[in-house]
Amino acid sequence: MTVDVQSEVRRGAAATAGLDYGDRAIEGPLRGHHNETYVIPLPAANGLGAVSVRGKVREPRPGLFWYDRRCFSSEELLLAALRGRVNRVPEIIEVAPGVRLQGFVEGRTLGRGVLPSRPLSPRHGDQLGQLFGEMAAIKTDAIDVERICLPEDRTEDGDSAGFLARLIRFTHQRVYQEHGAPYHGLFERLGVGDTAMEGLARRAERLGPRPFTLVHGDLHRKNFIVDRLGDLWTIDWELALLGDPLYDLATHLHLMRYPEREQERICRIWRSAVEGARPGATLGWRQDLPVILAYKRAQSVYTDVIRGALALELPGATLNWRALPRVARRVQAALAAAHEVRGTPDAPTLRQVSSAYAGWFRARARVAASAP
C-alpha cells in the first residue's frame, strides 16, 4: 500500500473519531492481508458489553487479489444480520447515518504465544461448538444481505458436490489461470501443471447432499479473540458463504493444524453441534471430509506459491535471497501436504523449491534484459 492511500485511510479514521490525524488514540495500521485497519475510540454510551467502546475503520488494500471466493457485499451488513443469531461476534455501531463500524473486541488472538497446534481448552471447545451450531441453524433464505457472487457460482441448496466443484473451478480459473498466469513457469518448476486439479474435481462429484447453512469460511486462530473474561469471539466474516457446513470444519482443521487426537475431538464437537441444530446437515461427513481437506491443501499450494513469489521480489524484479529460506519452507510444506495437485506423494525437497524460485527469477531477468 502506498503512503498516500495509507494516509487517506488514517485521515478517514481520524475524522470519524473527531481526532487529529496524528493522535495517539488512533491505533494502527493493524497487520492484515486484505485491509488497512485502524482502531479508534468511540463515545462510551454504546453499551457494548464485552466489546470495548472502540471501533474499526477499514479499507481494502488497493489492487488486492482475493484467493477465496466472496459471497456478501458487506461484512458489516452481514454482522448486523447475525445479531441475536450468533453470539460473540463484533457489534455493529452506526456512527452516522449510513456509516457503520465494527466494534473492536478487546483481548488476544487464540493461542498467541503458544504452539500453533495446541488443543482448545474445554471451555473454548464448547464455545466453538456453539458457533458451529448457531451457523448451522441459519438457513440460506434467512440472510437478507446483498450477495456479490455471480449467479453461475451459486448452487442449489444441498448440492454439496456442486458447491465444492465451483470452489475448485474458482481456484483453477481465477487463481491459477488468470491471476497466476505470470507464475506458470514457477508452477511448472514445482511440478504443478494446468491439469493438477482434475483428479480433485472428479472426487468432488461424489460428495453427498447436505442442507446449506451460513459458513464463516476462515476459522483460524487469528480470527478468534479471547476476551478479558476468557470467552471466545469470532471476527473477520468477510469470506463468509452460504454453502456446505462441512466446508467450515475442513477449513478449520486445515488452518489450525491440530494433532490427530484433537482433530477427532473437534470433529465430534462439530458433528454434535451441527446435527443438533440442523438434522441431516452432517450426512456423509466422514467420507466427504477428506475430499474437502484435499481441496484446502491444494488451494494453499496456489496461494503460497504466488504469495511467496511476491514476498521475494525486490525493486527491479530481483530476488530477496535473505527471505528465500522462509518462503521455501512454507511452499515445500504446502506441496508435501497436497500430493493431490502433483499426482505423487513425493514432494520436492527444500533445496529443490529454493532452486525453482531462483531459476524462475533468473529466467524473468533474462526475458526482461532481452526485451526491446
Residue owning grid cell 519452507:
329
The enclosing H or E element of 324 equals helix 324-337
Question: Does residue 49 fall inside a structural domain?
Answer: no
Read off the DSSP letter of residue 257. Answer: T
Beta bridge partners of 103: 55
Q: Residue 176 has which C-alpha cell?
A: 491459477
Question: Does residue 360 fall inside a structural domain?
Answer: yes
pLDDT score of 2 more than 50: no
pLDDT score of 255 more than 50: yes
Segment 99-116 shows an average pLDDT of 79
Question: Does residue 328 fall inside a structural domain?
Answer: yes
Question: Does residue 144 fall inside a structural domain?
Answer: no
Preceding peptide of 245 cis, ω within 30°: no
Report how far residue 82's alpha carbon sits from residue 93's, in angstroms, rounded to the nearest whole number.
14
Contact yes or no for 235/89 (Cβ under 8 A): yes
Contact yes or no for 109/224 (Cβ under 8 A): yes
| 256-279 residue pLDDT tens | 999 999 999 999 999 999 999 999
Give the residue among 8, 96, 15, 83 at the shortest CA–CA distance from 49: 83
Report how far residue 82's alpha carbon sits from residue 2's, in angstroms, rounded to the nearest whole number.
34
Question: Does residue 345 fall inside a structural domain?
Answer: yes
Kindly indicate the confidence band of residue 113, based on its pLDDT and cuts at 50, 70 and 90.
low
The enclosing H or E element of 109 equals strand 108-109
Kindly provide the residue ranges of all beta strands, DSSP E only, lying in 146-292, ordered along the sequence: 213-215, 224-226, 232-234, 241-243
Kindly indicate the confidence band of residue 102, based on its pLDDT and cuts at 50, 70 and 90.
confident
Angle at 66 between CA 145 and CA 153, to 5 degrees: 55
Question: Does residue 165 fall inside a structural domain?
Answer: no
Whole-number pLDDT of residue 33? 60
Question: Does residue 338 fall inside a structural domain?
Answer: yes
Segment 288-307 shows an average pLDDT of 96
Instruction: Decide which of 35 and 291 is more confident.
Output: 291
The 3-state DSSP composition of the chain as helix, strand, coil percent (nearest 5) reads 50, 15, 35
| 32-71 residue pLDDT tens | 666 777 787 876 544 444 444 787 777 776 667 888 998 9
pTM of the model: 0.89
Contact yes or no for 328/353 (Cβ under 8 A): yes
Whole-number pLDDT of residue 43? 60
How many residues does the structure list for the chain? 372
Structural domain harbouring 203: 171-208+292-366
| 131-190 residue pLDDT tens | 999 999 999 999 999 999 888 788 999 999 999 999 999 999 999 999 999 999 999 999
Judged on CB neighbours under 10 Å (0-12, 13-18, 19+), 185 is middle
Dihedral of alpha carbons 254, 259, 265, 269, sign: negative
For the ranges 291-300, 308-317, 359-368, the one whose mean pLDDT is highest: 291-300
Read off the DSSP letter of residue 147. Answer: B
Mention every residue, 6+ apart, whose C-beta is less than 8 A from residue 331: 190, 301, 304, 305, 308, 353
The total number of structural domains that make up the chain: 1
Question: Does residue 130 fall inside a structural domain?
Answer: no
One DSSP character per residue, 272-319 reads: HHHHHHSTTTTTTHHHHHHHHHHHHHHHHHHHHHHHHHHHHEETTTEE
Residue owning grid cell 466474516:
237
Segment 347-358 shows an average pLDDT of 96
Contact yes or no for 76/235 (Cβ under 8 A): no
